[in-house]
Amino acid sequence: MLEKIREGSQGLAAKMILGLVILTFALAGIGSYLGNTAAQPAAIVNGEEISQTAFQQKYDSNRSRMEQQFGQMFAQLAADDAYMKTFREGVLDQLVNEELQSQLAQSIGLRISDDKIKDIIRNMPEFQIDNQFNNERYLSVLRQVGYQTSSFRDYLQVENTRRQVSQAIAGTDFSLDSEVKAHTELDKQTRDIEYIVYKQADFKEKVTLSDEEQRAYYESNLDNYKTQAQVSVQYVEIKIADLMKDIKVSDGELESYYQDNIDSYRTAISKRRGSHILIEFGDDEAAAKTKAEDVLAKLKSGEDFGAMAKAHSDDTFSAENDGDLDWFERGVYGDEFDDAVFGLAKVNDITDIIRSESGFQIVKLTDDAPEVVKPFADVKDQVGNEFKRDQANEIFSDKLAMLTELSFEVPDSLEDAAEAIGATVKETAFFSRFSAPPVVNFPGVIAAAFGPQVLVDQMNSEPVEINADHVMVVRLLKHQPIRIKSLDEVAEQVKTALTADRAQEMAKAQADELLAKLDGNSKLAEDSNSKELTVVTKAALERFTSDVDSTVRADVFKMPHPLDGKVSNQVIKMSNGDYALVALSGVTTGKLPDDLKATEQRIASQKSQRAYKDFVDALKEKAEISKTAVSSTQ
């Protein structure tokens, strides 16, 4: 059937129909951007909408932070749809919590002063060079992240007002001196114990198993004997590095490339220093332009630039320093700015009015530094590498287009696509999601190999971008689905597991038998009735020590205090599956250190976290919140 569809789609009429369909979808898509002003919000909190755009921005920010922090580990988690669904829901919950706090802050009249916002900006390390605020860096960073100075100040106003709420909640908690002392004494409490370990390994030789018992164990634990789904795949890949190896270049081509890209080989590029006066658009762009024209006229009549910047510039940081922008190079402030400022003939010249994203600017040139260019001979190898990469990028784009087209048009084979781009169809052995060989061990490739298009429909995958220089298309070669191994296949596993279980039961029974004999007066060594068992003694055992099994240690500090000189006894399952019979003979209250400040801070932090969570939960209970299903963002 697919073959008939492909044959039918080659005719002129079919192509015209397909073109109309594509055009319809394209126009519908444009309409959705231009005309759909009532897009469904991600959530509504007490009547206030959280837009899908706000959700997407927060999602992208959180995901980027996770990728930077956890790298490949997060990439593997991101291939799990269930995990990413939970991740998206967490992002939306975070936005809802923030909106609730903003609403509360507004209702009780909290705000941050302009001077405080200014101090916050000055102290942000993102805007500092050598621990000093740098206005050029400040404006540059804002442009890179899509903020104007006014919108960034608004953002900080909202964020820090909301932060006042959480800080107020945290600041209400305190700890009494008696509470800190009691907590410290409990933390530093020690206990005197003896214990005997009953090792499961000592009982394994005593275990006998019938065929019926092994079969029953196997049938009640079938999930333990499932195989993982495995695939072997064919793949075709394109790599920039491979393409570069085949590119030959002459010295003449390199010299020409060097001249065409001379800006890339400057040891010191042309820099200028200037001061500016910024008039932001505000709500009335025409009025802003009129003001800018008036300022320019006064400057041309001899008014002092620094004084005018202090009096009229909306960039308050630079205005305090006569409008100084420090040194800058081309590309920092945009093309219109560059054309105007780098077109000035000499120091102290002033530009006409420049229209920028931030508003109207007038710039005075205050200093100039000429450029220095590296000689061709010094950078020939670098030029050669960059020339080859540029050539390889063009070839890469062409080959990727062919690979995309042919792997789609011939979805049941990679041979045509491979032949068209001069590549080879390669194959892998069987692998699971968690055992892929290095050549295909990339999250996107694994997701495609086990995705419905490849695994179920048995079609070529879409091109998977492993990175900007490496793309791969895969298709299914063979598939081994999940299955339950037969009892014969796992007979040794079943026997080993069941033997371990029975040995554990026998070890516990032995420990319980001795526990029943103890009356709280005798020593373990006297009651064990066996010279083969070693009694371990731990005097003054600390709560956080590491020289005793972690489970034993945790349970020991939960055991009741021994009373009237008697010993408390308990059987405890250890973290390795063995059993310990423990005798607790003494409890000593911890000694208080001279300085309790660290403990006080830890208790306060724990209380603050609990209080903040309870506070947000209380806001949610009183609020009207509706959420939509957030899209499956990749």
Percent with pLDDT over 90 in the chain: 44
Q: What is the pLDDT of residue 526?
A: 60
Residues 6+ apart with CB under 8 A from 321: 135
DSSP characters over 138-177 = HHHHHHHTT--HHHHHHHHHHHHHHHHHHHHHHHT----H
Token pair 């309870």 is at which residue?
A: 614
Which of 133 and 414 is assigned the larger pLDDT?
414
Tally Cβ neighbours within 10 Å of residue 218. 22
Dist CA 16 CA 272 (whole Å)? 56
CB under 8 Å to 518, separation ≥6 — which residues?
524, 527, 567, 569, 583
Residue with tokens 């079919």: 14
Counting beta carbons within 10 angstroms of the beta carbon of residue 529, is it exposed (0 to 12), middle (13 to 18) or buried (19 or more)?
exposed
Write the CB contacts of 348 (distance below 8 Å, at least 6 apart in sequence).
Answer: 364, 365, 366
Residues 137 and 363: their CA atoms lie apart, in Å, by 17
Residue 327 parent element (H or E): strand 324-329
- 509 pLDDT more than 90: yes
Whether 213 shows a pLDDT value over 90: the answer reads: yes
Tell me the range of 152-166, 459-473, 583-597 where mean pLDDT is highest: 459-473
| Per-domain residue ranges of the chain | 1-38, 190-210+490-588, 230-249+380-480, 270-370
User: Is the pLDDT confidence value at 455 over 90?
Assistant: yes
Tell me, what's the pLDDT at 3?
Answer: 40
Give exposure, 565-593, as e/b (b: 16+ Cβ within 10 Å): eebbbbbbbbeeebbbbbbbbeeeebeee
State whether residue 480 is helix, strand or coil: strand
In DSSP terms, 573 is beta-bridged to 579
% of the chain at pLDDT higher than 70: 90
- In sequence order, the 6+-apart residues with CB closer than 8 A to the CB of 493 are 224, 225
Least confident among 303-307, 389-393, 466-470, 605-609: 605-609
- Residue 472 pLDDT: 96
Bridge-based pairing of strands 359-369 and 535-542 is unpaired
Rounded Cα distance, 566 and 585, in Å: 7
Instruction: State residue 373's pLDDT score.
Output: 83
Average pLDDT of 80-97? Answer: 85
Residue pLDDT, tens place only, 173-209: 677 788 888 888 888 899 999 999 999 999 999 999 9
Evaluate whether 35 touches 41 at the Cβ level (below 8 Å): no
Q: Of 151 and 530, which is predicted with more confidence?
A: 151
- pLDDT category at 243 given cuts 50, 70, 90 is very high
Q: With 50 as the cut, is the pLDDT of residue 122 above it?
A: yes
pLDDT, position 19: 42
For residue 515, the tally of other CB atoms under 10 A from its CB is 15
Query: Is pTM, for the whole model, over 0.95?
Result: no
Tokens, residue 236: 């075709």
The b/e string for 392-431 (b: 16+ C-beta within 10 A; e otherwise) is: beebbeebbebbbebbeebbeebeebbeebebebbebeeb
Rounded Cα–Cα distance for residues 590 and 349 (Å)? 76
Q: What average pLDDT does this structure show over 567-596?
A: 90
**Alpha carbons 23 and 39: distance in angstroms, whole number:** 23
pLDDT attached to residue 17: 39
Closest CA to 95 of 125, 47, 55, 149: 55
pLDDT of residue 4: 39
Confidence of residue 445 (pLDDT cuts 50, 70, 90): very high
pLDDT above 90: residue 161:
no
Tokens of residue 121, six digits: 């900006």
Please give the CATH number for the structural domain made up of 270-370.
3.10.50.40
State pLDDT tens for residues 416-431: 999 999 999 999 999 9
Angle of the 251-260 helix axis to the 380-409 helix axis, nearest 10: 90
Which pLDDT belongs to residue 6? 40
- The answer on pLDDT for 224 being more than 50 is yes
Instruction: List beta partners, residue 275.
Output: 324, 364
Please report the pLDDT score of residue 326 as a whole number. Answer: 85
Decide which of 137 and 361 is more confident: 361
Tens of pLDDT, residue by residue over 12-53, are 344 443 344 333 333 333 333 333 444 688 889 999 888 888
**Structure-token pair, residue 533:** 């068992």
3-state secondary structure of 405: helix
* Region at 520 (left for phi over 0; alpha for psi -120 to 50; beta for the rest): left
Closest CA to 427 of 408, 417, 414: 414
**Would you put residue 625 in left (φ > 0), alpha (ψ -120 to 50) or beta?**
beta
**pLDDT category, 604, cuts 50, 70, 90?**
confident
Phi, psi of 554 (to 5 degrees): -65, -45
**pLDDT of the residue at 348:** 92
pLDDT over threshold 80, residue 170: no
Phi, psi torsion values for 234, nearest 5 degrees: -100, 150
Beta bridge partners of 230: 480
Q: What is the distance of C-alpha 128 from the center of its chain? A: 25
Are the C-beta atoms of 148 and 334 separated by less than 8 Å? no
pLDDT of residue 28: 38
Whether the per-residue pLDDT at 259 is higher than 60: the answer is yes
| Helical spans, DSSP H, in 313-462 | 316-319, 335-341, 380-409, 415-421, 443-449, 452-455
What's the chain's average pLDDT? 84
Please tell me the distance from the alpha carbon of residue 591 to that of residue 601, in angstroms, as a whole number.
Answer: 19
Tens digits of residue pLDDT in 528-568 = 554 567 889 999 999 988 889 999 999 999 999 988 878 89
Position 449 scores a pLDDT of: 94
Q: Which of 70-74, 168-172, 449-453, 504-508 has the lowest mean pLDDT?
A: 168-172
